[in-house]
């Protein structure tokens, strides 16, 4: 598994969709048996290299993440689709 200790879920305000994605990310990580990763949520403006090891955002915000490599971000087509999130997390975590 790559060295991912912290995942930041972000949206425009840091309150709505990022909280939903945060809760879904914790749930999916638990399903995958991953327990040693911290999950937080915040605003898109808090995304910068070093703020987290992996960033998760909705598709409408994917273009706003600057300075972060594609290997450090997950852009979701549908923030409510746990299967999409699970597939992309498994890919990033090499599970």
E-only strand ranges, 1-95: 6-11, 38-43, 54-58, 73-76
Range of the domain at 52: 6-93
pLDDT at 2: 67
Work out how many domains the chain is built from and give that number.
1
pTM tops 0.85: yes
In a domain? residue 1: no
In a domain? residue 78: yes
Question: Residue 47 is part of a domain; what is its CATH number?
Answer: 3.40.50.2300
Each residue's pLDDT expressed in tens, for the chain with a length of 95 residues: 568 999 999 988 877 899 999 999 999 999 999 999 999 999 999 999 899 999 999 988 877 777 888 889 999 999 999 999 999 999 999 98
- 29-38 own/partner pairs: CB under 8 Å, 24+ apart: 29/89, 31/86, 32/86, 32/89, 32/90, 32/93, 32/95, 34/1, 34/93, 34/95, 36/5, 37/4, 37/5, 37/6, 37/7, 38/5, 38/6, 38/7
């Amino acid at each position: 598994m790559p060295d991912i200790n912290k995942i930041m879920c972000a949206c425009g305000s840091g309150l709505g969709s990022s909280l939903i994605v945060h809760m879904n990310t914790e749930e999916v990580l638990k399903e995958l048996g991953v327990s040693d990763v911290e999950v937080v949520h915040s605003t898109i403006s808090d995304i910068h290299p070093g703020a987290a090891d992996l960033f998760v955002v909705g598709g409408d915000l994917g273009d706003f993440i600057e300075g972060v490599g594609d290997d450090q971000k997950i852009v979701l087509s549908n923030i409510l689709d746990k299967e999409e999130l699970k597939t992309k997390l498994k890919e990033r975590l090499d599970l």
